[in-house]
Chains A and B, each alone.
Chain A
Amino acid sequence: EAGVVQSPRYKIIEKKQPVAFWCNPISGHNTLYWYRQNLGQGPELLIRYENEEAVDDSQLPKDRFSAERLKGVDSTLKIQPAELGDSAVYLCASSLGPGFGTSLTRTGELFFGEGSRLTVL
């Protein structure tokens, strides 16, 4: 079974340009996450979807970042315009459901994609 698929793997743009990242979660996973990982740090949540609904976007810089998950399957994350400080790895993750369920089902276990590395010049 395929894991979480992200594209592009690498993107280099000049500041003020737009950029978009795409994520296809594991089939059947209702919960989708976008994380940002700065160099040398742990991932930080940007937005979480339950099906097509964004249930937690409190950490998403809404002035320049937007995301969508039409039809509750794949998702795109857009930055417009990009700034130098946006250089990071953007990770997508998916899970069967929210939370971390019971120790037997562990429905909330996150499966991460390989990430999209963004460099803003």
Chain B
Amino acid sequence: GESVGLHLPTLSVQEGDNSIINCAYSNSASDYFIWYKQESGKGPQFIIDIRSNMDKRQGQRVTVLLNKTVKHLSLQIAATQPGDSAVYFCAEFMEYGNKLVFGAGTILRVKS
């Protein structure tokens, strides 16, 4: 997959502001997408998912938007809190091969 080495994109936001994390996926045939949050020293943790027949899905403080035309996924976090600081990964599920493929991550830093 694509590699960004040690230089992950970083988003710095003020506590209480909204955050938007973006992701470009690779396969137009992917039909299921997931956002994961990974805190330092821990494994990825499921946040929210969306199927390709939807454009938007909302959870608690989080919203995922899917634009299949440009193969773009975004994660919106409302009222960002210090506990939201982590690396966020999008992942696409490819029916072919029954495989979940992770994209490059984005570091979210929340300033108090």
Contact = CB atoms under 8 A, between A and B. Distances in A.
A99 B101 CA distance: 12
Given A56-B97, A98-B98, A100-B32, A114 B43 contact: yes
Interface stretch (B1-9, B13-21, B61-69, B78-86): B1-9
A36 to B, nearest CB: 11
Q: Taking chain B's interface residues, is the majority helix, strand, or loop, or is none over half, making it mixed? A: loop
A110 B1 contact: no
Interface residues of A, number: 27
Interface residues of B, number: 29
Contacts, number: 65
Interface in A34-51: 38-45, 48
Contacts of B91: 42
B98 A40 contact: no
Given A40-B8, A42-B102, A113 B51 contact: no
B101 to A, nearest CB: 8
B10 to A, nearest CB: 11
Contacts of A43: 44, 89, 102
Name the residue in B3, B7, B44, B103 with the highest tally of chain A Cβ atoms < 10 Å from its Cβ: B44
Interface in B1-50: 1, 3-8, 32, 41-46, 49
Interface in B53-83: none
Interface of A: 4, 38-45, 48, 55-56, 91, 93, 98-100, 103, 106, 108-115
